[in-house]
Amino acid sequence: MVLASFNPFPFLGQDTPSWATWMLENKIYACMMTFFLCNAVETQLISTGAFEIHLNDMPVWSKLEAGRIPQPGELFQIIENHMNMKIGGGGGAERIGDFHDEL
């Protein structure tokens, strides 16, 4: 919305709020504030110690059990192993697809 200078409020039949007008007028500052705010929220959520990943209602990773957050490659490998187990454990042509290509 901000980088593209797109204001969705007139399309929704509403007046543009003052915060949205400010963001559209101050793009760089608004993007920096959004970046830092999101990082602060992420840091707070991760620092609580509760970080779990579930795939099809099956636990894949728990920070409380492992004591750390998984590396991206490690996480992709775990998810790929769970997907292979789900479709019969075959690693051949019957696979749904390569996760790395989808991401």
Buried b (16+ CB within 10 A) or exposed e, 7-19: eeeeeeeeeeeee
The Cα 43–Cα 36 span in angstroms is 10
Amino acid 78: pLDDT: 85
With 70 as the cut, is the pLDDT of residue 32 above it? yes
31: which residues sit within 8 A by CB, 6+ positions away?
2, 3
Residue 67 has pLDDT above 70, yes or no: yes
Over residues 80-99, the mean pLDDT reads 61
Higher pLDDT, 90 or 31: 31
Q: What's the mean per-residue pLDDT of the chain? A: 78
Residues 6+ apart with CB under 8 A from 77: none
- Segment 4-32 mean pLDDT: 87
pTM over the 0.85 mark:
no
Mean pLDDT of 78-94: 68
Angle at 21 between CA 18 and CA 24, to 5 degrees: 150
Is residue 54 classed as helix, strand or coil in its secondary structure? strand
Flag whether pLDDT at 94 surpasses 60.
no
pLDDT digits (tens, 9 = 90+) for 34-66: 999 999 988 887 777 777 888 888 888 888 888
Checking if the pLDDT of 9 tops 80, the result is: yes
